Amino acid sequence: MNSAANPDTLRRLGQLWDVVVILVQRDMKLRYKRSALGLAWSMLNPLLQFGVFYLVFRFILPVGRENYGLFLFIGLLAWGWFQTSLQIGCSAIVDHASLVRQPGFAPATLPLATVLSSLLHFLIALPIVFAATAIAGKLSAALILWLPIVVLVQFLLTLSIVYAVAALHVSFRDVQYLLSIFLLLGFYLSPVLYSANDVPARFRWLYDINPLVPLLESYHGMVGAGQMPSLAPLLLVGVGSCVALAITHRSFLKASRWFVEEIGA
């Protein structure tokens, strides 16, 4: 680390960044290459999901929350970013075996590229959020100022988990399957469709240990009510994610020495 100013190290980091950039570009190009709908296509899935949940929780089992549409939409987007990153990131190493076998290729770029390209999809949908918030008269300085920080914390948290699952999946091929169960349960146990404040006290502990809760609550507060996020829990998750990322990234690097052996020829 003390060699950060060394030109060779800088060149190497610059090249690694280029690898991440072209992996993300490749992903985006592939996603839009064949579809005439292009960008609209990436919005279709969250919009449909939104439509169904809106139908259910506005009209069939009404939750009676003001601006529920906005509340729901930002929650689904944020969860979508988290879920897609984990699902795709989990198999990133196994799916790119031929790259991992190339001399000099850094496997650590693959999970990072996955999280970034899911982040781009999240960002592409944000203008809709801003427009809808403005129409509802809730657009606030809190949203514009704090959104990047909340996004950054979610990025660190997601990446730290993706490094762990991606490395585990190389050795244990049922990780992806277990992860999808975990994500399905996690979706309902995280405050995406509802607010953590609605949770009865005796179940609150479940939400106190879930690092996604402060993030989702921040999104909900900023978008639905124009509130500033509560800083203490956000800071805690942010610091925790940094520590977790340092640990999982390091473990990933250690494990990556064995990837080719594990994947096989």
Which residues make up the interface to other proteins (CB under 8 A)? Answer: 11, 14-15, 18-19, 21-22, 26, 29-30, 33-34, 98-105, 168, 171-175, 178, 257-262, 265
Cβ closest to other proteins, residue 89 vs residue 229: 89
Q: How far is the CB of 15 from other proteins (least distance, A)?
A: 5
Q: How far is the CB of 246 from other proteins (least distance, A)?
A: 23
| Contact present, 163 and 245 (Cβ < 8 Å) | yes
Chain Cα centroid distance, residue 200 = 27
Q: Residue 134: which residues within 8 A CB-CB, separation 6 or more?
A: none
Q: How far is CA 254 from CA 2, 231, 248, in A?
A: 20, 34, 10
Dihedral sign for Cα atoms in the order 36, 38, 40, 46: positive
- 258/129 Cα distance (integer angstroms): 43
Cβ closest to other proteins, residue 23 vs residue 237: 23
Cβ closest to other proteins, residue 19 vs residue 142: 19
Cβ closest to other proteins, residue 78 vs residue 164: 164
Q: How far is the CB of 261 from other proteins (least distance, A)?
A: 6
Shortest CA distance to 95 belongs to which of 38, 179, 22, 169? 169
Both tokens of residue 172? 């244990």
Q: Residue 259: which residues within 8 A CB-CB, separation 6 or more?
A: 93, 100, 107, 170
Cβ closest to other proteins, residue 64 vs residue 264: 264
